[in-house]
Structure 1
Amino acid sequence: MNQIDPVIDADLHAYVDDQLDVSRRIDVEAYLSESPESAAKVMADLRIRDELRLALAGSASTPHQDTREAARQLENAINRHQTVDIFRRAAAIVLLVGAGWIAHGWIAPASIGEVVASVPPPQFVAEAIRAHQTAELRENISSLSATDRFDPAEIRSATAIVLPQMPANWSVRDAQVFPSTFGPSVELEIEAGEGRRLALFAVRPGAFAVQQVLMQESDNAKAAYWQIGEVAYALISETEQADRLADEARRLARTLY
C-alpha cells in the first residue's frame, strides 16, 4: 500500500462506485486485504449497490415520480461522498418504492433476500459444481473411498485457503483437493442435519475482490457464491431452497471476519 497517499473514506466510496483508475484500485485492494473490518463494510456496500441495480433493472414499467426522485437523491448522496449510513438509507428507499413496499416502512439492508446474479458467474462457480459432481460420483464407486478426515489448519498451510467455521451440527463426510485454473481448490461434502447434504468449495481465483453472496442456479444444482479477499467460496446444493442456501452462505461468510 502507498504510504505517501493513504487510503481514505473517499477512496472506499469511489471503489464501490467504480470511479477509480486501475492504479488506485490496486492501492485500495491492498488496504482492504490488510483491514478485515473495512473489507466487510465495503462488501456490504457492494451488495447494496448491486441489489439496487437489480431492483431498478428488473422494473418493466416506467418508474413512478417518487422512485425517480429517490434515485436522484441517492445519486446526489453518492456524488457528495456522504456517510455509509446515508447511502444505505437512500438505497433502502429506492428498493422499497420500486418494489411497492413503502407501506412497510424502513427495513435494514440485511433483511433483503438473496440476489440472483444478472451476469455470468465467475469460472470458479462452474468448477465448484463439477467438483461436487465428481465427489458424488466417487461416492458411488466402492473402490474409491471417501475421507472425512480434514484439518483446516493443514489445508490453509498447503493451499493458502482459509475455510469458514461450520455450525456445530454440520459434519464433513468427504474432503478432497481438486486442481483448478489458479491452483488447488478444496471441496467438502457436508452433512448439515435434517438429512440435508451440501458441498463447500473454496479456491483462490487469481484476483482480489470483495463480493457479497450471489446465487446461481443450473439444471441440477444451486450455488451460493461469494469472495473475500483472495479466496472465493461456493456453497452447493441439489435440493436446498435458494433463500435458505443463501442464508447459510452468509452465515459461513461472517465467520471469516
Structure 2
Amino acid sequence: MHRDPDPITEVDLAAYVDEQLSSARRIEVEAHLAARPAEAARVMAELRTRDELRLALRAQPLPVSVPTNAIAGRLERSLRNRAVMRRAARAAALVALLGAGWVAHAEFNALSVRQSVASAPPPAFVADALRAHSTSALRAEMVSQPESAVFDPAEILSATAIRVPDLPTGWAVRDVQVFPSTFGSSLEMAVSSPEFGPLSLFAVRPGSFDVVPSSAVTQGEETAAYWQVGEVAYALISTGAGRQALEREARRIEASLH
C-alpha cells in the first residue's frame, strides 16, 4: 500500500534553513518549495540573511551594503520564532500521545524530565572559560608573567574572527591574552569593576551558529554568565559575585554586540 509522504511543516522549513535535515528530507522540502513560489521566496530570504550574517561575522566584505546589526536583528528574531515553533511541535506530539492512550506512569516521568531542562549543563565552552579564568588568576600572582592591558580589537578580530564587545563604563582592562581552547583560539580578558572586583571575559568560536540569550551557572566559587551571538560565544566569570547581578552585567555587554 502506498504511504502518503509526511506533510512539510514550518518546523521542516526552519530545519532546512538551519541545515539540520537529512538528505532525503531536504529533497522533499525542495520539491515542496518548487511548487510554492511565494513560500520558496520567503525561505530564500532567510537563507540569504543567514549567509550575510556569517560573512559579516567573519569580517569579510558583503556583496551588498547591508548593516551588520540589522542583519543580526532579523536573524535573531527568526531564530527565536523557530524556537517557538519547535516547542509547539513537541507539545503537539505530546497531545497526540495522550490521545492515543499514553497517559500513565511513563507520561508523568516524561513531564518531570522536561521540567528539569532548567538544570541542564551549560554549553561546553563554559568549561574552557572557567579554565581560562583560573589561568588568568594564576598569571596575576606571578611576577615573571607581567600583565598587558594593551590590545587592538581590530587585530584580534582579524586574527581570531572574535569581536571584542564594549565594556560597561568604569570597567578597566588589566590583561588580554589569546588562549588555546577545545574549539581553537580563544580570547581571555582580565578586567576589574568597582562592583565585582576582578572578572574574566572569555570569547571563543564554538563551531556552531546560534543566538543564545545570556544565562548563568555557578560552579563552586565561580559564577559564569554566558551567551552567544552568531558564531561567537562569550562568558563573563567572577569569583564570589551574585548570579543575578553578574547576569545583568552580561546582558549589558551582550547588548553592545547588536
TM-score, length-scaled by structure 2? 0.62
CA shift for structure 1 position 224:
0.7
**CA separation of 1:29 and 1:217: change in aligned 2, threshold 3 A:** farther
Residue of structure 1 in register with 2:140 after alignment: 139
Quote the Cα distance in structure 2 between the aligned partners of 1:130 and 1:238: 13
1:178 & 1:229 partners in 2: Cα distance? Answer: 21
Give the letter aligned to residue 21 of structure 2: D
- Structure 1 partner of 2:50: 32
CA drift at 1:117: 4.7
Q: Which has the larger radius of gyration?
A: 2
The Cα RMSD (Å) is 3.3
1:2-81 equivalences under 5 Å are: 14=14, 21=21, 31-32=49-50, 34=53, 35-42=71-78
* CA-to-aligned-CA distance 1:120-148 (integer Å, 9 cap, x gap): 21211000000010010111111111111
Please tell me whether the aligned partners of residues 213 and 250 of structure 1 are also in contact (alpha carbons under 8 angstroms). yes
Q: Percent identity?
A: 44
One-letter amino acid matched to 1:202: A
CA distance in structure 2 between the aligned counterparts of 1:29 and 1:234, rounded to whole angstroms: 28
Equivalent residue number for residue 160 of structure 1: 161
1:168 Cα deviation from its structure 2 partner:
2.5
Query: Is the CA contact (8 Å cut-off) linking 1:190 and 1:198 kept in structure 2?
Result: yes
Count matched residues. 185
Aligned partner of residue 214 in structure 1, secondary structure: strand
The 8 Å contact of residues 224 and 238 in structure 2, kept in 1 or not, is answered as: yes
Measure, in 1, the Cα distance between the counterparts of 2:78 and 2:14: 11
Q: Is contact 2:217-2:243 (8 Å) kept?
A: no
Q: Which residue identity does 1:39 align to in structure 2?
A: L
Amino acid of the structure 2 residue aligned with 1:141? M
CA 141–39 in structure 1, closer or farther in 2 if over 3 Å, else same: same
Q: Which amino acid aligns with 1:154?
A: E
Higher relative contact order (CA 8 A, sep 6+): 1
Once the two structures are TM-superposed, the CA of residue 49 in structure 1 deviates from its matched residue by: 9.1
Distance in 2 (CA, whole Å) between partners of 1:167 and 1:181 is 28
Separation (CA, whole Å) in 2 of partners of 1:126 and 1:172: 22
- Say if 1:47 and 1:212, in contact at 8 Å, map to a contact too: no
Q: Secondary structure at the match of 2:221?
A: coil
Match of 2:250 in 1: 249
- 1:246: how far off? 0.7
Structure 2 portions without partners, runs of 5+: 1-9, 27-42, 54-70, 93-116
Q: Deviation at 1:29?
A: 7.0
Q: Which residue of 2 aligns with 1:175?
A: 176
Distance apart, 1:214 and its partner CA: 1.4
Gaps in structure 1 of 5+ consecutive residues: 1-9, 54-70, 77-115
CA distance in 2 between counterparts of 1:226 and 1:139 reads 26
TM-superposition CA deviations, 1:38-70 (whole Å, max 9, x none): 1332465589899xx8xxxxxxxxxxxxxxxxx
The alpha carbon displacement at 1:207 in A equals: 1.1
Alignment map for 1:172-251 (pairs within 5 Å): 172-194=173-195, 196-251=197-252
Is this contact kept in 1: 2:11–2:82, CA < 8 A?
no
Alignment partner of 1:150: what SS?
Answer: coil
What is the identity, as a one-letter code, of the residue corresponding to 1:172?
V
Q: In structure 2, what is the Cα distance between the partners aligned to 1:49 and 1:133?
A: 40
Q: Is the 8 A contact 1:29 1:209 kept in 2?
A: no
Contact 1:156–1:162 (CA<8 Å) still a contact in 2?
yes
What's the offset of the Cα at 1:32? 3.3
Determine the C-alpha separation between the residues in 1 that align with 2:216 and 2:181: 21
Alignment partners' CA distance in 1, 2:173 and 2:150: 8
Aligned 8 A contact 2:11 2:85 in 1:
no
